Structure 1
Amino acid sequence: MQYRQAFVPGGTFFFTITLLERHKTLLTDNIILLKQSFHHVKQSHPFHIDAIVILPDHLHTIWTLPETDADFAMRWGLIKSTFSRGFPKDEHINKTRHSKNERGIWQRRYWEHLIRDEKDYRNHVNYIHYNPVKHGYVDKAIDWPYSSIHKFVRDGIIDQNWGYDENVDMKTFGERN
């Protein structure tokens, strides 16, 4: 079966981007470089980050692209390469990656999902904000420093105890709901 990506100009997409070596903590250890990489790409290829969480070895985010643009793949390529250039070339690079002049920092592929409606959007935002709890990094989502949950709380969209309340149904969250 051939995989097809949904290219929708002005679309809103959920992404999961992962390091090649899942035991590494490059993303949180180098959070400033990662933020600079996003900023650099957004300068020349605008997009809106609706929600984001950055964990040590992967990140989840929702983007909304400009009305006339659907090229999220180019943006991810630029973000990944900008971030990668911040490191010396001392990681293990297999023959295939070497022949394609690729670094050994990121997984080549990523999970992308076109957001379908408000419920789908809300479920993915919740998934993003709850992810540090899911992985055991914190007990309360608000305690994870690399998350857009802080903006959602500051803007009054959610309460600071969100995700810590037993009335929240965590089964509705997810990448594949």
Structure 2
Amino acid sequence: MKQLQKIFLQGLVTFLPVALTIYIIYAGISIVDSLLGDSLRLIMPVYIPGLGFLLTILLIFLLGFLLNSLVAAGAFHKLEHQLMKVPFIKAIYGPLRDLMNLFSKGGGAGHAMQTVVFVDMGETGVRALGLVTRENFKDIPAIEANAGDRIAVYIPMSYGLGGFTLMVPRSKITPLDMPIEKAMSLAITGWVKAEKNDEVP
């Protein structure tokens, strides 16, 4: 019986990551496909599955191409400025825009996830892995006036997409020579497995 349990667990450990990866990719493609696919189904006599996904990808590339034009970029920023005047839209669109900027091009000075660090947690000797998200607060006077020598550090949580941000004195952080992607991978998985070249001090 124990041998059967061992064989089953080995199969389960192999099967679940593969199945979940395939499911997540499939679900993501289905969601993107439905963005334009639902509209296309109304006007096309025969809908080809995946056409909405391809058109969405093309639309994203077209939008990126247009935003490289000064005229189109200027028009978009004017539209964005007007949208940000609407309270409800501002509450949703603003944070989403900042999040996308954070992971794409850094979002400008003071907003980039610039450095992977260890944060000293008091006198306990405990350290937490974090990502520096801000080193200045010039655009937030109320925070700048009270920040002192502190910077904002995001501490990701394990086995989830959440986390929390701390205002940490610079003297309490130790920069690590590690790619941000690797740090996030380690944090999210709880450091269950790390290769030799992933080791940190």
Same fold (TM over 0.5): no
Find the structure with the greater CA-based Rg: 2
TM range (shorter): under 0.3
Higher share of residues assigned helix? 2
Give the TM-score normalised by structure 2.
0.23
Give the TM-score normalised by structure 1.
0.25
